[in-house]
Amino acid sequence: MATIKEVAAHAGVSVATVSRVVNKNGYVSEDLRLRVTEAMHLLDYKPSALARSLRRQESLTVGVLVPGLNQPFFAALVTIIQTTLFAAGYRIIICSSEESSDDEAAYVDMLIRQRVDGAIIAPTGRSSEAITPLLSKIPVILIDRDLPNLPVNRILANNFQGGYDAMEHLLRLGHRDIALIGAQPHSASMDQRIHGARRAIADAGMAANSLRTLISERSEFDVGYAFTRDLLRRKRRPTAVFALTDVIAIGVLHAAAEVGLKLPDELSVVGFDDIPLSSYLIPSLTTVAQPINRMGEAAADLLLSRIKEGHPEPFESLLLDMKLMLRASTVHHRRGA
List of residues contacting a copy of itself (CB under 8 A):
1, 46-51, 53-54, 59, 68-70, 72, 75-76, 78-79, 82-83, 86, 91-96, 98, 106-107, 109-110, 112-115, 137, 221, 225, 247, 250-251, 253-254, 257-258, 276-277, 280-284, 336
The residue from 14, 210, 213, 279 that contacts DNA (CB under 7 A) is 14
- Residue 178 CB: number of other CB atoms within 10 A? 24
- For residue 22, the partner it binds in a copy of itself, DNA, none, with Cβ less than 5 to 8 A by kind, is DNA
CA distance 43 to 94: 32
The residue from 34, 38, 57, 149 that contacts DNA (CB under 7 A) is 57
- For residue 109, the partner it binds in DNA, a copy of itself, none, with Cβ less than 5 to 8 A by kind, is a copy of itself
Torsion angle, CA of 329/331/336/337, rounded to 10 degrees? -90
If we measure between CA atoms, which residue out of 240, 215, 239, 210 comes closest to residue 227? 215
- For residue 317, the partner it binds in a copy of itself, DNA, none, with Cβ less than 5 to 8 A by kind, is none
If one asks whether residue 149 binds DNA (CB under 7 A), the answer comes out as no
If one asks whether residue 27 binds DNA (CB under 7 A), the answer comes out as yes
- For DNA, which is the closer residue by CB, 59 or 228? 59
The distance of closest approach from Cβ of residue 254 to DNA in the complex, given in angstroms and rounded to an integer, is 53
- For residue 280, the partner it binds in a copy of itself, DNA, none, with Cβ less than 5 to 8 A by kind, is a copy of itself
Judge whether 253 and 278 are in contact, CB under 8 Å.
no
CA distance 246 to 220: 9
Handedness of CA 74, 76, 82, 84 (dihedral sign): negative
Strand order from edge to edge, sheet including 323-325 = 211-219, 178-184, 240-243, 268-273, 286-289, 323-325
List contacts with DNA (CB under 7 A). 1, 3-5, 12-20, 22-23, 25-32, 45-48, 50-52, 54-57
